[in-house]
């Protein structure tokens, strides 16, 4: 058997095993069906408020708590809740570690983490250890060890982690992905992306550069920049 076929077989088998494990975890959570999910938000800056806007539109979600040391961002987020006619969340604004009190609360099932990058992993792990499901903004992990720390914590507590990456689901990215799959079916596709924030731009708008590289048994034969 060639090395390529072994690799493909390995990927198929591990993908099937991962899907089975993921499904069993999802079923375990689905069995305790609730009518409303109680969500806490750690970091109610610009991205946190964007999540808040979506959460406030839902009848099956109640936003129960905020953690953020920035009083201006908190005031803006609390106004959004008030304008939506929803109950005011509990607030944890006593410094950078006050999110630890948010994750302890009984009225929090899940947390959205929309803080600066260096906080994502400690906050996700604190949420998992408190039995809460974290949704973590990009980048999530900075070091390889961060990835293992989250995987190990998630497996130990049997709590899933949602990475809140959205760019890979954008219509233009998916269109390119589907075109590639149709033209060259049965290929492994690796998406390499870089995400950089240019703070010197007037709008602070994130600049994306996405590289799609199609991996074949041969050296890469299609690169889209």
Ligand X SMILES: NC(=O)c1ccc[n+]([C@@H]2O[C@H](COP(=O)([O-])OP(=O)(O)OC[C@H]3O[C@@H](n4cnc5c(N)ncnc54)[C@H](O)[C@@H]3O)[C@@H](O)[C@H]2O)c1
Dihedral sign from CA coordinates of 12, 18, 24, 30 = negative
CB of 66 to ligand X, least distance (A): 9
Binding site for ligand X (CB under 6 A): 42-48, 67-70, 73, 96, 99, 114-117, 119, 137-138, 164, 166, 206
Q: Which is nearer to ligand X, 95 or 185 (CB)?
A: 95
Q: Which is nearer to ligand X, 10 or 117 (CB)?
A: 117
| Nearest CA-CA partner of 38 in 74, 72, 86 | 86
Judged by phi (left if over 0) then psi (alpha if -120 to 50, else beta), residue 160 lies in: beta
CB of 4 to ligand X, least distance (A): 35
CB of 173 to ligand X, least distance (A): 12
CB of 88 to ligand X, least distance (A): 18
CB of 48 to ligand X, least distance (A): 6
Q: Which is nearer to ligand X, 109 or 137 (CB)?
A: 137
Q: Which is nearer to ligand X, 141 or 153 (CB)?
A: 141
| Dist. CA 47–CA 3, nearest whole Å | 44
Residue 32 burial (C-beta neighbours within 10 Å; 0-12, 13-18, 19+): exposed
Q: Which is nearer to ligand X, 45 or 214 (CB)?
A: 45
Q: Output the CA–CA distances (angstroms, integers) from residue 41 to 112, 133, 154, 193, in the order listed.
A: 5, 12, 19, 27
| Dist. CA 71–CA 113, nearest whole Å | 17
**What residue ranges in 43-161 does DSSP mark as E strands?**
61-67, 90-92, 110-113, 133-136
Of all residues in the shown chain, the one whose CB is closest to ligand X is 45
């Amino acid at each position: 058997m060639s090395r390529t076929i072994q690799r493909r077989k390995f990927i198929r088998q591990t993908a099937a095993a991962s899907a089975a494990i993921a499904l069993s975890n999802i079923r375990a959570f689905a069995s305790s069906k609730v009518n409303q999910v109680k969500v806490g938000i750690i970091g109610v800056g610009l991205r946190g408020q964007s999540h808040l806007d979506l959460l406030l539109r839902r009848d099956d979600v109640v936003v129960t708590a905020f953690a953020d040391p920035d009083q201006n961002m908190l005031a803006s987020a609390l106004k959004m809740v008030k304008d939506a006619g929803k109950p005011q969340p509990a607030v944890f604004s006593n410094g950078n570690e006050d999110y630890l009190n948010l994750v302890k609360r009984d009225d929090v099932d899940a947390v959205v983490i929309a803080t600066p990058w260096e906080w994502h992993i400690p906050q996700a792990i604190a949420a998992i250890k408190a039995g809460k499901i974290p949704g973590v903004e990009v980048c999530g992990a900075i070091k390889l060890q961060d990835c293992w720390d989250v995987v190990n914590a998630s497996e130990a507590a049997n709590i899933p982690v949602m990475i809140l990456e959205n760019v890979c689901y954008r219509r233009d990215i998916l269109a390119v992905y589907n075109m590639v799959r149709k033209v060259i079916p049965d290929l492994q596709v690796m998406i390499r992306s870089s995400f950089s924030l240019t703070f010197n731009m007037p709008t602070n708008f994130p600049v994306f550069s996405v590289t799609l590289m199609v991996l074949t048994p041969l050296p890469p034969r299609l690169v889209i920049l």
